[in-house]
DNA sequence: AGATGTAGATAAAACCTTTTATCAGAAATA
DNA sequence: TATTTCTGATAAAAGGTTTTATCTACATCT
């Protein structure tokens, strides 16, 4: 059956179109019982306003675009969930656009989004230092960057990598560990450098950082290197991500060293498929990606309402998830 | 600056609004050089049609909704990527709606999608036997089910679990293994039963299935059970997913059994973070989720164009990814 | 009584596009 | 020459909503 229009509603409720509209939206001056009646009839005949028509007139589509550079990887997805969670109750829908790191595709998606009159755009990436498409800066609609750094005077949300690193190191120190090593990912990642710096500041002169790739394999190999050269053995290792940590733990077991008794291990990411399954389960740093999504969603929400939001980078705190790889949860 | 409308375009090109529209869309009768001129001017002034206005009139929004029951899990996302990939070049955008298994949220999203006049809906789930919301069946717009079974006469796309299981078992048999065990997930999963059945048919009377949960932990424990009872040891294990396979491999290493020399192992899912990182890397079955997304996208595309698509369940073939856990890739 | 104010309702314009029906003029036909 | 056919262009309607300005009753005030 044909969808009911406001014209049908007006006729069924015995009022004019404008009155029907006013009654539903609470605009204009309308008698209380008229409002009541219109709403009841609307419910009865199943009237729901056409979002296209409404958007055309109000110039607000109540939709936003989410532009992500990867094919729905593990970093962007919790963020997308966070964004969506915040927005759904405000009637905002999300267009998901995976650019797959292809500039042509990014432009194509962007144009389509603009044609659809989206109220705003959230750009997310898999790397903090990945440059967002420059076209974004020139748009007249609000843009928010999540896990990516926008141009000057834009609004960006980051995990606080330095604080996360401190959290890890200080946790180890509080447990009495002093010879703490840092095995991490490639040095050309911004996050890697930020964390390494914070680590160095906490640990002092004895700090030592081993850069490699993000794999379990590298965690393994790093342990071989350490033990091959045979100088003073560390009593704790802070790893750049959970995969490396898993490799480290496995390598230590092969060497018949006990975790955490001999060496404590902390990971980064709290990627549960790994961190819960290591033996012992991994104490790690959670970047609270969903919370980043929440904040980005709230920011875009405020902006579309015309409210102002402070510009610049907001670093959101990480959280330590205590499991058994450092000596058991506080408990 | 204000967005250019077709009125601006018409004025700039010195033609009427209707001519401008006809020229751009190739409708009506229009002189070749007029078309050329209008298009050039459109490019110059940066005119792009307002999708809302167009959709209002044509009753086709060129957008579809993707309803997924989980919070952006690892199964639905590759599918979403596949859908988007196929549709973007046809100008269709995708609203991503995560219902988080909450019926209230599902209804809310569905209503919003209908208000937005989407041209179709793709429903995806994390389990084949999860019942989609019944409201979907009654819609007047096309609906396609991916990784979920719709009602009779609907259109569904599944991975071919039986074929996938056969692929695994036959691969092992071709490598000369004969005592093949199956360690898998909970029996109340449809996919688990289908795979187990196919496994039994391939292996014959010596078949043995151990049901548990989807965890690495269970893979571990299953190996303990097998060896505790001490009868003839298997020479190959077909696992229900990669996590179980990883647990199995680790447990075998603890028992100083060589993989694949003593026992070959095959996984299921090709979840790369696991399957590439086991030692040795895991031979496994890929469900080709992205391809399922492609097919679902193509189906919805045809349907929105009014073409007909055969109803029923289409099972798409799985693919064997040969790594080292069965005796090395063909290389 | 006449002027003023107010509550409640409404007609009509606006948003931007596509599409139908109409029109003017040129070319072809009778 | 008068009539028909055809090309190319256009005015106007339509789509479903919000909003502005207008209108009618009726109550209040002087």
* Chain C bases near protein CB atoms (7 A cut-off): 7-12, 14-21
Same domain, B153 and B90: yes
What pLDDT sits at residue B329?
Answer: 46
B211 in the same domain as B293? no
**Could you tell me if B170 and B119 lie in one domain?**
no
Could you tell me if B282 and B294 lie in one domain? no
Are B149 and B298 members of one domain? yes
Domain membership of residue B253 (yes or no) is: yes
Is A326 a domain residue? Answer: no
Beta bridge mates, B96: B66
> CB contact, 8 Å: B206 with chain A?
no
Which of B 100-119 lie inside 8 A of A, CB atoms? 105, 108-109, 111-117
pLDDT at B331 over 70: no
Final residue belonging to a domain, choices B248, B269, B287? B287
Is the C-beta of residue B28 closer than 7 Å to nucleic acid chain D?
Answer: yes
Q: Which residues of A46-67 are buried (b: 16+ CB within 10 A; e: fewer)?
A: ebebbbbbbbbeeeebbbbbbb
B175 and B280 together in one domain: yes
Q: For A48, which of B50, B66, B111 is closest by C-beta distance?
A: B111
Domain match, B152 and B193 both? no
User: Is residue B232 a part of any domain in this protein?
Assistant: yes
Tell me whether residue B323 is in a domain: no
Domain CATH for B194: 3.40.50.2300
Which pLDDT does position A330 carry in this prediction? Answer: 41
pLDDT digits (tens, 9 = 90+) for A243-294: 999 999 999 998 999 999 999 999 999 998 899 989 899 999 999 999 999 9
B97/A117 CB distance under 8 A: no
* pLDDT per position as a tens digit, B7-51: 999 999 999 999 999 999 999 899 999 999 999 999 999 999 999
A320 touches chain B (CB under 8 A): no
Burial of A142 (0-12, 13-18, 19+ CB in 10 A): buried
The residue out of B14, B30, B49 marking a domain boundary is B49
Query: In this structure, are B67 and B175 located in the same domain?
Result: no
In a domain, A155, yes or no: yes
| B85, B133: one domain | yes
Sign of the torsion formed by the C-alpha atoms of B298, B299, B300 and B301: positive
- The count of domains in chain B is 3
The whole-number average pLDDT for the span B217-229 is 94
Where on strand D do bases come within 7 A of a protein Cβ? 7-12, 14-21
Estimate in Å the CA B31 to C1' C27 gap, whole number: 16
Residue B327 forms part of a structural domain: no
Per-residue confidence (pLDDT) for residue A71, from 0 to 100? 66
In terms of domains, do A26 and A78 share one? no
pLDDT of residue B330: 41
Contact criterion met (CB below 8 Å) for A161 and A147: no
For residues B203 and B246, state if they share a domain: yes
Give the tens place of pLDDT for each residue, A202-248: 999 999 999 999 999 999 999 999 999 877 889 999 999 999 999 99
Residue where the block lists tokens 């004969």? B178
User: Is A327 contained in some domain?
Assistant: no
Identify the domain containing residue A309 by its residue range: 58-159+289-317
Domain contains B322: no
Residues B155 and B79 in one domain: yes
């Amino acid at each position: 059956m044909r969808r009911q229009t406001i014209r049908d509603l007006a006729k069924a409720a015995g009022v004019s179109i404008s009155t029907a509209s006013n009654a539903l939206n609470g605009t204009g001056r309308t008698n209380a019982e008229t409002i009541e009646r219109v709403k009841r009839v609307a419910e009865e005949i199943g009237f729901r306003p056409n979002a296209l028509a409404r958007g055309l007139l109000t110039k607000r589509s109540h939709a936003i675009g989410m532009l992500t550079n990867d094919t729905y990887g593990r970093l962007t997805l919790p963020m997308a969930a966070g964004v969506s969670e915040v927005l759904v109750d405000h009637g905002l829908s999300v267009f998901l656009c995976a650019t797959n790191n292809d500039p042509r595709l990014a432009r194509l998606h962007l144009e389509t989004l603009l044609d659809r009159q989206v109220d705003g755009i959230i750009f997310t990436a898999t790397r903090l230092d990945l440059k967002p498409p420059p076209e974004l800066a020139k748009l007249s609609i609000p843009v928010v960057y999540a896990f990516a750094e926008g141009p000057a005077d834009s609004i960006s949300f980051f995990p606080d990598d330095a604080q996360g690193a401190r959290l890890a190191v200080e946790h180890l120190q509080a447990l009495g560990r002093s010879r703490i090593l840092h095995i991490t990912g490639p040095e050309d990642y911004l996050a890697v450098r930020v964390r390494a710096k914070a680590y160095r500041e906490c640990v002092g002169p004895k700090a030592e950082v081993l850069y490699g790739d993000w794999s379990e394999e590298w965690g393994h190999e790093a342990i071989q290197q350490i033990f091959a050269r045979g100088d003073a053995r560390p009593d704790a290792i802070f790893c750049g991500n959970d995969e490396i940590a898993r490799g480290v733990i496995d390598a230590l077991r092969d060497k018949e060293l006990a975790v955490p008794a001999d060496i404590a291990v902390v990971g980064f990411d709290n990627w549960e498929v790994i961190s819960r399954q290591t033996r012992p389960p991994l104490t790690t740093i959670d970047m609270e990606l969903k919370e980043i999504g929440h904040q980005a969603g709230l920011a875009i929400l405020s902006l579309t309402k015309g409210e102002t939001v402070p510009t610049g980078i907001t670093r959101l705190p990480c959280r330590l998830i205590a499991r058994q790889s450092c000596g058991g949860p506080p408990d």
